[in-house]
Chain A
């Protein structure tokens, strides 16, 4: 059986326009096949048969419809793992977290707000939580470290809330960290420690929806990694504007490994770390 639904040109154009308007995610010609694979199941599940019927079907619902969720869930890529991208991790661990702790420390403790935008199933958010725990050690309980983990995809948020992960997603983690922060449930399931889980707040958020992003203000560290690639230039600029507004003065933002802001935003200062780049407000 064919894995994909072959999109006719007018179908492709209408579908990508619809997706773009609702999510800001833009499928280029290069990603057409990816969309053809992902849409196949949606068409058969809904019994719509073709793209125009499917768009009508979607359009008849309001913004929070189940099928719109299903579509977002299908088209967003969720591959992630703990301590992913060693160089980025090292920059955050050695520089950014110590600086945030230093600037936010008042009378021996303080508050920190991190936003992991498009955090998928939460590995990145929990990684940051673990790194703060490692730095703060016994002081951790005196601090309020909140890591807001948002995604447009309900399914991944559900697994973020459980805090249960497979050994595979922990492949870049040292055995020592795994042992201290996770409880082995059974064969290949590990659950994150309760106090670390409590630091992470999973929430649904569409990055294109300015109103829903606005509440994540006063952010010390914003991670929006490998997300902007899905947006076209205009949406990118819009999202970055929100990011800039939401960051605290002096706060840091990190994009994905090979992503840069060049040509999209001049508000941030480019910070070079060893083999990694970040942006500062």
Chain B
């Protein structure tokens, strides 16, 4: 257990650069019920680097459009406001964590790949099994583990010890954090997202993806879907850390919560679903290119 760890982390979060104003504007729009395409396009166009990013996303192999998109408004229409805003917000959040030159970090490539895979798998899961949650799955997947980067930035040596322990003892990152630090990436991630004033659903995803029953009624299903996708990403080889243990997915609280709301998933072939996710590899790879520039 590390003394004053929470205080150290909180002061680091305090001194992290705020996310850019334009991203904040997008977050506010994401929360509002009725937002109009022109309004979003106007916000994006104000920021040249964001505009470039949006066009890059729209023209990426990920969306596989047969023609070149050159207007922001067109891109917003094509990709959908929420998905596009999620990606922009994520690029903004991600850039706040670009490591300064010369500092050691955890394997960031592996970290982002896991987060991307979680978002994409959550989306495929909900689409395929007709689950009621559709919106914001990407961003929820992308930020669910953000606390890990915060800890790493604060105490890299300690956190690499945590990761090493997951390999040595074949345990989860959460268990290793509990043994070494006594604080989890879940709560730390939620503190950061709270400070950044992200919508409640993302804060809860970060806070409760390992304790799904503690999420509020309103967001419990979303948190449960991300929690399942988090596990499935690990099972498909997109894990973060050395946890290789088996899991009875259908026996997890996350699965039970999703099944309570969508009883039909009790009859679905989970083995086949997870096997067939091999086809998501390409999607994950393309999204990685978008996010890493």
* B42 on interface, CB distance cutoff 8 Å: no
Contact in complex: A94, B244 (CB < 8 Å): yes
Digitize B219-262: 1 where CB-to-A-CB distance is under 8 Å, 0 elsewhere. 00000000000011011110100001111111100000000000
* 18 A-B pairs whose Cβ atoms sit less than 8 Å apart in the complex: A91-B244, A94-B170, A94-B244, A95-B170, A95-B245, A262-B272, A269-B251, A272-B232, A272-B235, A272-B247, A272-B249, A272-B271, A274-B235, A274-B237, A274-B239, A275-B235, A275-B237, A277-B275
Chain B neighbourhood of A273, CB < 8 A = 235, 244-246
Chain B neighbourhood of A278, CB < 8 A = 246
* B33 on interface, CB distance cutoff 8 Å: no
Interface residues in chain A, defined as those with a beta carbon under 8 Å from any beta carbon in chain B: 90-91, 94-96, 258, 260-263, 269-275, 277-278, 280
Q: Is the interface of A mostly helix, strand, loop or mixed?
A: mixed
Contact in complex: B244, A272 (CB < 8 Å): no
- In the bound complex, CA of A249 to CA of B246 (Å): 17
**4 more A-B contacts (CB under 8 A) besides A91-B244, A270-B249, A274-B235?**
A260-B272, A270-B270, A272-B247, A273-B244
Q: How large is the interface on B (under 10, 10 to 19, 20 to 34, 35 or more residues)?
A: 20 to 34
Closest to B243 in A: A274
- In the bound complex, CA of A272 to CA of B239 (Å): 14
Closest to A91 in B: B246
Closest to B170 in A: A94
* B269 on interface, CB distance cutoff 8 Å: yes
Chain A neighbourhood of B246, CB < 8 A = 91, 95-96, 271-273, 278
Closest to A273 in B: B246
Chain B neighbourhood of A261, CB < 8 A = 271
Smallest beta-carbon distance B274→chain A, Å: 6
- In the bound complex, CA of A271 to CA of B269 (Å): 13
Contact in complex: B234, A274 (CB < 8 Å): yes
3 interchain residue pairs of minimum CB distance: A260-B271, A262-B269, A273-B246
Chain B neighbourhood of A270, CB < 8 A = 248-250, 270-271
- In the bound complex, CA of A105 to CA of B61 (Å): 54
- In the bound complex, CA of A271 to CA of B258 (Å): 18
- In the bound complex, CA of A270 to CA of B269 (Å): 10
Which of A263, A271, A274, A278 is the most central at the interface, judged by chain B CB atoms within 10 Å of its CB?
Answer: A274
- In the bound complex, CA of A278 to CA of B248 (Å): 10
Chain A neighbourhood of B272, CB < 8 A = 260, 262
Q: Contacts A95-B244, A271-B248: A277 and B170 contacting too (C-beta < 8 A)?
A: no
Partner of A271, one of B237, B239, B247: B247
Chain A neighbourhood of B248, CB < 8 A = 269-272, 280
Closest to A98 in B: B170
Closest to B247 in A: A272
Contact in complex: B251, A262 (CB < 8 Å): no
- In the bound complex, CA of A50 to CA of B274 (Å): 47
Q: Which of B158-174 contact A (CB under 8 A)?
A: 170
Closest to B242 in A: A94
Digitize B2-14: 1 where CB-to-A-CB distance is under 8 Å, 0 elsewhere. 0000000000000
Chain A neighbourhood of B234, CB < 8 A = 274
- In the bound complex, CA of A70 to CA of B3 (Å): 73
Chain B neighbourhood of A269, CB < 8 A = 248, 250-251
Smallest beta-carbon distance B266→chain A, Å: 11
Chain A neighbourhood of B271, CB < 8 A = 260-262, 270, 272, 277
Smallest beta-carbon distance A235→chain B, Å: 20
Q: Contacts A270-B249, A270-B250: A277 and B244 contacting too (C-beta < 8 A)?
A: no
Smallest beta-carbon distance A278→chain B, Å: 7
Closest to B232 in A: A272
Smallest beta-carbon distance A204→chain B, Å: 31
Smallest beta-carbon distance A123→chain B, Å: 24
- In the bound complex, CA of A90 to CA of B274 (Å): 18
- In the bound complex, CA of A91 to CA of B170 (Å): 12
Smallest beta-carbon distance A157→chain B, Å: 31
Chain A neighbourhood of B274, CB < 8 A = 272, 277
- In the bound complex, CA of A260 to CA of B270 (Å): 10
Smallest beta-carbon distance A247→chain B, Å: 15
Smallest beta-carbon distance A269→chain B, Å: 5
- In the bound complex, CA of A274 to CA of B170 (Å): 12
- In the bound complex, CA of A280 to CA of B245 (Å): 14
Smallest beta-carbon distance A170→chain B, Å: 25
- In the bound complex, CA of A262 to CA of B269 (Å): 6
Which of B248, B271, B272 is the most central at the interface, judged by chain A CB atoms within 10 Å of its CB?
Answer: B271
Smallest beta-carbon distance A96→chain B, Å: 8
Contact in complex: B237, A260 (CB < 8 Å): no
Contact in complex: A275, B236 (CB < 8 Å): yes
